[in-house]
Structure 1
Amino acid sequence: MEDDATQLVIQLEGNVGLGEVHNGIPLIGVLMADKLPNQGATKEILRKSWEQLGEAKILVVKDNLLAITVESEEMARRIIEGGPWAVMGYALSIHHC
């Protein structure tokens, strides 16, 4: 399973330009929904949820795939361990890239 996730990250970096997002600690978020709810609202909900941890940059890569960049490894750890997260009733799975 971990090999599959690693391969997915490699493919995403090559296919959608995620390599350009890496000014910090890169994470990948998968929203368990057929389509992403309102993009602006999704980003705002996550930023507000994590603002006490630090700054997060969120880029919608595809309908349910988010590239998330955080400022520190500690922030990344706290986000990953603080889950599961939910956005407008949908589960959000977050992992290291």
Structure 2
Amino acid sequence: MIPGWLLVHTVTIQVYEGDTAYGPQYAAPVAARALVEETVRTVRGERGEEVVASTTLYLMPTQACPPESLVTTPSGRTASVITSALHSAPGLGTPDHREVTLT
């Protein structure tokens, strides 16, 4: 697992639960420890389109944060999740973590 001492920021995550007749539905906000990297880069969205990501988060691998969830960063900015990838290599000694890109 990613060492806890690397997760120096706290973010608030509202997990996307799906669409309703009244628009998107989100779970109650939860606080999560993260490493926040505010770097602009181009990523591929769920449908393969190129999207500009302004922030990358590194979270514990068990933290739920699917695409379209809302994340509030330490700066107070609320952004939508573009991608959420689990990086895991059991037995190799690499730090398992979840990498999340935000709009």
With the shorter chain as reference, the TM-score category is: 0.3 to 0.5
Q: TM-score normalized by structure 1? A: 0.34
Larger strand percent: 2
Question: TM-score, with normalisation over the residues of structure 2?
Answer: 0.32
Higher relative contact order (CA 8 A, sep 6+): 1
Q: Which has the higher helix share?
A: 1
